[in-house]
Amino acid sequence: MRSTLITDIAELTTVDPEGRVLTDAAVVVEDERIAWIGPAADAPDADDRVSVEGRAVLPGWVDSHTHLVFDGDRSAEFEARMAGESYAAGGIGVTTSATRAASDDRLAELVRGRVADAVAGGTTYLETKTGYGLTVEEEARHARLLAGLREEGLVDEVTFLGAHLVPPGRDAEDYLDDVVGPMLEAVREHAGWVDVFCDTGAFDAEQTRRVLAAGVAAGLGVRLHGNQIEQGPGVGVAVEFGAASVDHVNHLSDADVEALAGTWTGWDRASATGTPGTVAGCLPACDLSTRAPLAPARRLLDAGIEVSLASNCNPGTSYTTSMNFNVGTAVLQMHLTLAEAVRAATLGGALGLRAQDRVGSLEVGKRADLHVLDAPAAIHLAYRPGMPLTHAVWRAGRRAV
């Protein structure tokens, strides 16, 4: 068991239950776990010593919502949207065609590159989805590819999103027969989660229930895309199924907020213990790209709901892996404090993946996922937006950047 002392930390943001922010701090890593945290002057000896020379350190980002398996480019769609055309879910079909045409090797290379970009920006725990195959064969191919990358430690969580959109030329109910039948059977051993795009232009409440029920019966956890395009049934269905997360949440009624808050009665935010409810996943880069109203993160937090921030990296509405950008946006535009934004991008994401016992904060025994900023304090993420502030990254105890 080899140990590394990471020291000379100007500011250490732990996101632990006490919300400690330590100055002149140090961390000891043993193999892939955190073994010690405290004042640098009290640090124990270790086999190796790394000085971060007065920089800030915080937990690695937990990106709980991405779509990394794709080929093709939708910049023309983006340009048209910036010229005033409205966003519609149908653009997914453009990516589906290009992705189906790509070889396994090409898709794997593309995903590896996107993961590398994410890690270079401080992301250390990452979920990604299928959803650009939309046939039994293609969804199974993408799920196998992601499961292989998970075995390599490149991605951490795999989600089955066969119900992303009804493919052109298919009847919705006929397509869902495939999703809940042979498609689910082909992917269930490779995925840990089932997801549905429950919104205008995609799937309605009953269709969503059908897919989620089949996923639960197959042993998968539940997550959901909901309430992105307009107020609708997504949040209600997510709560009904005890979803770990419902993401987008741009358009919420008072009843939606009340329903989400009701799922958190068994969770103690101060101690980060108890039974977590349904996380409200906010995707600010997507909101900016689609010129949608920013998700009401402030309103959700004030109602006692845990919030996550994620990149939603995809080719149509959020072609970025930058969690730094999303955190800065949450502070500058969504009225979150820095501490709230960092928590949402770390522990919030971990809660939305039910991984809070392993990642999302810097605590003894948790995975050693550390993000070193080229700045003396984490507030620089919002104070200097758009700057390349990631200096170093440890992922599962190994120096990755």
Phi first, then psi: give them for residue 36, nearest 5 degrees. Answer: -160, 145
Nearest residue to 127 via CA among 45, 226, 207, 193: 193
Q: Does 207 count as an annotated binding residue?
A: no
Q: Does 326 count as an annotated binding residue?
A: no
Q: Does 371 count as an annotated binding residue?
A: no
Cα radius of gyration (the chain): 20
Nearest residue to 197 via CA among 205, 189, 186, 188: 205
Name 120's Cβ contacts closer than 8 Å, sequence gap at least 6: 390, 393, 401
Q: Does 383 count as an annotated binding residue?
A: no
Name 273's Cβ contacts closer than 8 Å, sequence gap at least 6: 17, 267
Q: Does 317 count as an annotated binding residue?
A: yes
DSSP character at residue 251: S
- Report the Cα 136 to chain-centroid distance in Å: 25
Q: Does 316 count as an annotated binding residue?
A: yes
Q: Does 225 count as an annotated binding residue?
A: yes
Q: Cα angle vertex 126, ends 122, 132, to 5°?
A: 125
Q: Cα angle vertex 199, ends 241, 254, to 5°?
A: 70
What is the helix (H) or strand (E) element at residue 354, kind and residue range?
none
Binding-site annotation: residue ranges for Zn(2+): 65, 67, 225
Binding-site annotation: residue ranges for N-formimidoyl-L-glutamate: 132, 314, 316
Binding-site annotation: residue ranges for Fe(3+): 65, 67, 225
Binding-site annotation: residue ranges for 4-imidazolone-5-propanoate: 74, 132, 164, 228, 317
Binding-site annotation: residue ranges: 65, 67, 74, 132, 164, 225, 228, 314, 316-317
